[in-house]
Structure 1
Amino acid sequence: MIENFWKDKYPAGIAADIDPDMYPNIQAVLKQSCQRFADKPAFTNLGKTLTYGELYELSGAFAAYLQRNTDLVPGDRIAVQLPNVLQYPVAVFGAIRAGLVVVNTNPLYTAREMEHQFKDSGAKALVCLANMAHLAEKVVPKTAVRHVIVTEVADLLPPLKRLLVNSVIKYVKKMVPAYHLPRAVKFNDVLSKGRGQTVNEANPASSEVAVLQYTGGTTGVAKGAMLTHRNLVANMLQCKALMGSNLDEGCEVLITPLPLYHIYAFTFHCMAMMLIGNHNVLISNPRDLQAMVKELSKWKFSGFVGLNTLFVALCNNEAFRKLDFSALKVTLSGGMALQLAAAERWKEVTGCAICEGYGMTETSPVATVNPNQRIQIGTIGIPVPSTLAKIINDAGEELPLGEIGELCIKGPQVMKGYWQRQDATAEILDAQGWLKTGDIALIQPDGYMRIVDRKKDMILVSGFNVYPNELEDVLATLPGVLQCAAIGIPDEKSGESIKIFVVVKPGVTLTKEKVMEHMRANVTAYKVPRTVEFRDVLPTTNVGKILRRELRDEEMKKLGIKKSA
């Protein structure tokens, strides 16, 4: 039933299937695209643009250095710990061309988090920003890392500007703490030594691991999802297919505020956009809205990739609302639930509807997307080509259309498994290739799907299921609410009671009574929160996703209950 159900759900011009074996590996896609689009811009940051031809040349120099000046061999892991700077694609594609496995690492990690990831992955090399090198100094001796390459933010800018920017960051802003890594090599020295040398181009099988992408650890210890060349090639082809004719080859300008080390931005900007030769404008610090809007004002951008919290923040920014959006034709949302109020406001401000998608690290990540020509706000769209979805109950039985249960995904983009964790892999991935997502969802008769909430975030009030996403959607429509979150806390009478956290927009006064009145008017009685707490900020992940788990753990601590597992 599932196989046939999806075949006729795609808009005209979008095939239901892709060929995940069209390319043997990422190297083949990179070579073809960099030759075909050699003179087209690939990445821009801090006023400097790399063309696809230059990207291939620099990544080749990086690869040649790794092959000729280190003892690294194909299959070894290299941790890349960089923000959105030009060095990121150079290092990643260079490492892949040398046959290494890329371990994407968050630059904001603490020493403890770095140590876990480096040890768990068995990384033998590290590329990091000078700003974080003091942490590497503490961590590297405890791990298998033997080769460290350090770069400064402006290393790929022209000489004079490079000196100026790096000096300001180091001496004026004092953002580079002192560090001592005597065996570390400078990024530009790596390129100098590798430039002009022959690269022994790796040619891995499609089933070999290309990237170890660690989950955020919000449900326990972070695990490395093994994403193969075939997984990533399939996902880039799926993204291209479902975008249809919305993005032309070699001429689009895509704003890139989400970090490339995050799987969402990694696959879309480094993989899918490479395939069609488009231009990614890298935003190094999206939290600095003023600087970001200033950068946006320089471009007639046609695509924007973001998530709910960023859309809300930008639409509340007066300078952003004055930008020229006449070229904007695609806005993509993922990473967290898109709230209706945010989607409507973005459309009002920019004139462009948001295509919400859905995915996980374990699905490389894109599993479903709203086709741009047929968007249903409030849904996560339909499965990308060659992908199936089903809803199951707690017993693992498939449920009929319209019923709520756990969403499962099957397709060529589903990971090989968790790195060195067979038990964890078996819990989430069955022998037929179905991946349990841990998300509660339903499938509509038209094939579009709705995420109700995370299975582990569901609140049980007197036997009734309450989904935080629904409460947060309702809260977000209350004038004056900037951010909000809902959690369940233990309650003797009802099992759990609902607590909500609210961040109010600057200059607005909002009372608990107004919040409760709004909730009573919009949700049934058992869904009305028991407690309201106003905060200046809410804890978020590096991409801006609100951490309900952290809020819940804080409440548990107050009650003297051990943290959630």
Structure 2
Amino acid sequence: MSADLFATRPWLRHYDPGVPPTLAITPAPLPELLRRAADRFADTTAIAFYGRIISYARLWEEANRFARGLLAIGFQPGERAVILLPNIPQAVIAYYGVLLAGGIVVLANPIFDAEGFAHEVRDSAATTVIALSMFYRLVEQVRAELPFPRLIYTNLKEYLPSSQRILFTLLRQEREGHRVPAEQAAQAHWFQHVLAAGASGDLPALHADDPAVILYTSGTTGAAKGVLHRHASLYANTCQTRAWYADADEGNERVLCAIPFSHAYGMTACMNVGIALGATMILLPTFETHNVLHTIRRERPTFFPGVPPMYAALNEVRDVRKYGLSSLKSCLSGAAPLPIEVQEGFERITRSRLVEGYGLTEAGPVTHANPLRGARRAGTIGLPLPNTEARVVDLQSGVDLPPGAIGELLVRGPQLMAGYWRNPQATAETITADGWLRTGDVARMLPDGYFQIIERKKEMIIAGDYNIYPRDLEEALYEHPTVIDAAVVGVPLPDGRTEIRAFVVTRPGERVSEAEVFAFLRERLNLPVMPEKIEFREALPRSFIGKLLRWRLIEELLQRERNT
């Protein structure tokens, strides 16, 4: 390895043993991951779902049958298919089935309202929707306005063990709304029927540069754009992230899949990396704290990719060690900043390694992570993954900045998106002519190559002559023994000033006054501007993946001001 590479990428010196400085990635269609896993680990359990197990050979067969079944009912290569499913076996089969049929997967948020779901269907010009039967009211409402040609329903019970399937039919199906009314059911295809229709037939040839997946991202600003990834970029990011688990035992790992596959992080870090490892994917349709703990005790996962609210929720469970969390080896936190208190608390109760990573939907999504075995830097996002370049540039001029200086983080690598779906202007604003992705995050690179996110550029608070970074205040708030969640926002006032507001959530049953929190902040921070008010909440608005939605807090405050 050339000395020049280590000089320009100082982070390479801090990689865990076994993590290569660069990867020789030969671009390939994404289903190659599943085909290779089926060849190497045919009888290994690919999916564990409430007692039902599916081998890699069976999963590969069902994905191919679903692909042929799609083509048999009229689906054409290049068309878009929206998948509206939680983490259930059908989600994995449908994802790879659509890709094998030459289609483009559109991953929809299972907790969308009609407006958000309709936007994705309309904007992607989807011809097919694959949905859970309990979402039929949402689907039928949108279909009345946007009559897409094909609708495929599937019931949650279809892949449960037979005994649980019977109990589900008797006790849950009607009560929870899983039964589609006969009139609507007659106008839809059903998942098992599509599989049956795919017993034979040819599949189209796939290429690495074919479009593969559209993920809609609003970040924290509310403006949803479709991020288009080709097979090559998602395949590359899977290889990069898999390489970070240098000591993984292929064919013997078990991944707890609690992050929705409909989010880029769940899609890559749980599903695609899990398949690349030949690991057992333990599927959880929803994150319910005690259900997760029972699943950990029963299924003994070794890897648990997650988001900070998940780890924080487990930390708060009384006598949590009785669930036997010792099987966990490595936990990679993403999608939101990981508070140090959450990290230390989780490691204390599990004896596992929890590290913070970083990424964005436009980058597949993983670009950075702290070493899983070596030196990590608390409060940083760690090091760029193999084959990933990163630099920090001046917020105004775009000139490269030296280590320690604060500016905008730019990244470049094979995992970057092809662009925003049918939005060349937004693409040009985000990706430079020489292939660098503007992340919109204010960051700095430390002298040893670790990176630290200071704040989203759009969320930095300009108060008079000062730049205030909400995360500094939030980290300090997290240190208070009664605080379990916190948010800081800047609220624009009619006179042009910006007022800083803080929101905190305290542990159930524990009380603290606003004056006590103010005093606590002043002891820990020496900032020229402090929050003007601290508001106590039972919960803070977060996306389905756990990302803090500051814009909702700001909108609420502005609406409150208008009303008064």
TM-score, structure 1 normalization: 0.94
- Distance, in Å, in 1 between the alignment partners of 2:235 and 2:177 is 41
1:301-320 alignment, distance < 5 Å: 301-320=301-320
Do residues 291 (structure 1) and 291 (structure 2) align?
yes
SS at match of 1:318: coil
Matched with 1:95 is 98
Matched with 1:197 is 200
Q: Which amino acid aligns with 1:320?
A: V
Q: CA deviation at 1:24?
A: 2.2
- Distance, in Å, in 2 between the alignment partners of 1:359 and 1:2 is 23
- Distance, in Å, in 1 between the alignment partners of 2:468 and 2:440 is 16
Matched with 2:48 is 44
Matched with 1:274 is 275
> Is the CA contact (8 Å cut-off) linking 1:67 and 1:73 kept in structure 2?
yes
- Distance, in Å, in 2 between the alignment partners of 1:494 and 1:464 is 14
Matched with 1:329 is 329
Q: CA deviation at 1:3?
A: 7.8
TM-score, structure 2 normalization: 0.95
Do residues 430 (structure 1) and 435 (structure 2) align?
no
Identify the match of residue 449 of structure 1 among 428, 448, 451.
451
Cα offsets for 1:320-350 (capped at 9, x unmatched): 3322233321011000000011111111111
More deviation in 266-275 or 181-190? 181-190
Matched with 2:19 is 14
> Is the CA contact (8 Å cut-off) linking 1:500 and 1:531 kept in structure 2?
yes
1:86-485 alignment, distance < 5 Å: 86-143=89-146, 145-174=148-177, 180-194=184-198, 196-198=199-201, 200-216=202-218, 218-245=220-247, 247-286=248-287, 288-374=288-374, 375-393=376-394, 394-485=396-487
Cα 1:262–1:274 shift into 2, 3 Å:
same
Paired positions, count? 555
Give the superposed CA RMSD.
1.9
> Is the CA contact (8 Å cut-off) linking 1:118 and 1:144 kept in structure 2?
no
> Is the CA contact (8 Å cut-off) linking 2:220 and 2:548 kept in structure 1?
no
Q: CA deviation at 1:165?
A: 1.4
- Distance, in Å, in 1 between the alignment partners of 2:80 and 2:180 is 27
Cα offsets for 1:406-428 (capped at 9, x unmatched): 10000000101000000000111
Q: CA deviation at 1:433?
A: 0.6
> Is the CA contact (8 Å cut-off) linking 1:30 and 1:275 kept in structure 2?
yes
> Is the CA contact (8 Å cut-off) linking 1:252 and 1:278 kept in structure 2?
yes
SS at match of 2:281: strand
Q: Which amino acid aligns with 1:403?
A: A
Q: Which runs of 5 or more structure 1 residues have no equivalent in the other structure?
A: none
Q: CA deviation at 1:492?
A: 7.2
- Distance, in Å, in 2 between the alignment partners of 1:537 and 1:411 is 37
SS at match of 1:415: coil
> Is the CA contact (8 Å cut-off) linking 1:461 and 1:494 kept in structure 2?
no
- Distance, in Å, in 2 between the alignment partners of 1:48 and 1:83 is 16
Matched with 1:59 is 63
Q: CA deviation at 1:175?
A: 5.9
> Is the CA contact (8 Å cut-off) linking 1:475 and 1:519 kept in structure 2?
yes
SS at match of 1:109: coil
- Distance, in Å, in 2 between the alignment partners of 1:11 and 1:5 is 19
Cα 1:136–1:343 shift into 2, 3 Å:
same
Q: Which amino acid aligns with 1:98?
A: A
> Is the CA contact (8 Å cut-off) linking 1:153 and 1:166 kept in structure 2?
no
> Is the CA contact (8 Å cut-off) linking 2:155 and 2:178 kept in structure 1?
no
Q: CA deviation at 1:353?
A: 2.5
**Percent sequence identity over matched residues?**
32
SS at match of 1:303: coil
- Distance, in Å, in 2 between the alignment partners of 1:427 and 1:2 is 29
- Distance, in Å, in 2 between the alignment partners of 1:511 and 1:293 is 33
Q: Which runs of 5 or more structure 2 residues have no equivalent in the other structure?
A: none
Q: Which amino acid aligns with 1:187?
A: F
Q: CA deviation at 1:290?
A: 1.9
Q: Which amino acid aligns with 1:266?
A: M
Q: Which amino acid aligns with 2:250?
A: E
Cα 1:175–1:45 shift into 2, 3 Å:
same
Cα offsets for 1:267-288 (capped at 9, x unmatched): 11221111120111111110x2
SS at match of 1:16: coil
- Distance, in Å, in 2 between the alignment partners of 1:176 and 1:100 is 28
> Is the CA contact (8 Å cut-off) linking 1:289 and 1:314 kept in structure 2?
yes
SS at match of 2:172: helix
More deviation in 549-558 or 161-170? 161-170
> Is the CA contact (8 Å cut-off) linking 1:45 and 1:281 kept in structure 2?
yes
> Is the CA contact (8 Å cut-off) linking 2:254 and 2:282 kept in structure 1?
yes
More deviation in 90-99 or 150-159? 150-159
More deviation in 130-139 or 8-17? 8-17
Q: Which amino acid aligns with 1:100?
A: G
> Is the CA contact (8 Å cut-off) linking 1:380 and 1:448 kept in structure 2?
yes
Matched with 2:519 is 517
Q: CA deviation at 1:176?
A: 5.5
Cα 1:390–1:39 shift into 2, 3 Å:
same
- Distance, in Å, in 2 between the alignment partners of 1:469 and 1:202 is 48
Cα 1:495–1:2 shift into 2, 3 Å:
farther
- Distance, in Å, in 1 between the alignment partners of 2:228 and 2:279 is 27
Cα offsets for 1:133-175 (capped at 9, x unmatched): 1111111243362111101111112444323214433223446
Cα 1:367–1:416 shift into 2, 3 Å:
same
- Distance, in Å, in 1 between the alignment partners of 2:79 and 2:178 is 31
Cα 1:475–1:176 shift into 2, 3 Å:
farther
- Distance, in Å, in 2 between the alignment partners of 1:367 and 1:336 is 14
Do residues 32 (structure 1) and 36 (structure 2) align?
yes
Cα 1:185–1:220 shift into 2, 3 Å:
same
- Distance, in Å, in 2 between the alignment partners of 1:218 and 1:205 is 34
SS at match of 2:173: helix
- Distance, in Å, in 1 between the alignment partners of 2:308 and 2:180 is 33
- Distance, in Å, in 1 between the alignment partners of 2:454 and 2:57 is 45
- Distance, in Å, in 2 between the alignment partners of 1:387 and 1:105 is 28
More deviation in 4-13 or 121-130? 4-13
- Distance, in Å, in 2 between the alignment partners of 1:390 and 1:3 is 14
SS at match of 1:559: helix
Cα offsets for 1:356-394 (capped at 9, x unmatched): 110000000000111212222211111111110011112
Cα 1:218–1:443 shift into 2, 3 Å:
same
- Distance, in Å, in 2 between the alignment partners of 1:161 and 1:359 is 38
